[in-house]
Amino acid sequence: MTRPTFGTHPFLLGFEELDRLVERTARTSDGYPPYNIEQTGEDGFVITLAVAGFAEGDLSITLEDRQLVVRGRTGDADERVYLHRGIAARQFQRAFVLAEGVEVSGATLRDGLLHIALQRTVPENVVKTIRIEAGPEGGGA
């Protein structure tokens, strides 16, 4: 007997996208740049990425279909000659899938750390009564 997944469970209607979200986030296996996720309150979070060597203009943060995407690209236009280069300055893309109702409330870059503040808004509880109409004889919708 197979166990139903979120998208196929009969009591969870309309959650097919949840399986796709889990698959999409599992594909990002690169560990660069390192990051922390911290809970700052009951409904607040901060994502902190270690982006040493990146200036504010080298970073971009976008929200694409509930996916928070942080990209970094440094401009190596200078003619430096390195005897040893141990500080990573490669381009990156890091993505986080945000739940419904989670909004980005701000971002700051300080001391080589990019802090992205998130806030969850609690949806209003709505009760809606559905009117039942008399259908044609013989049943069916």
Query: Strand ranges (DSSP E) for 20-124?
Result: 35-39, 44-50, 59-64, 67-72, 92-97, 102-110, 113-120
Beta bridge partners of 106: 117
Are 7 and 16 within 8 A, CB to CB?
A: yes
Percent of the chain with pLDDT over 70: 82
Output the pLDDT for position 90.
83
Name the one residue in this structure whose structure tokens are 């700052």: 40
Interatomic CA distance for residues 23 and 69, integer angstroms: 16
Output the pLDDT for position 103.
94
Identify residue 3 by its one-letter amino acid code: R
Output the pLDDT for position 65.
85
Name the one residue in this structure whose structure tokens are 């809606």: 128
26 sits in which H/E element: helix 16-26
Decide if pLDDT at 21 tops 70: no
Strands 44-50 and 59-64, by their bridges, are unpaired
Identify residue 123 by its one-letter amino acid code: P
Tell me the CATH number for domain 32-77+84-120: 2.60.40.790
Extract the tokens encoding 96: 């986080």
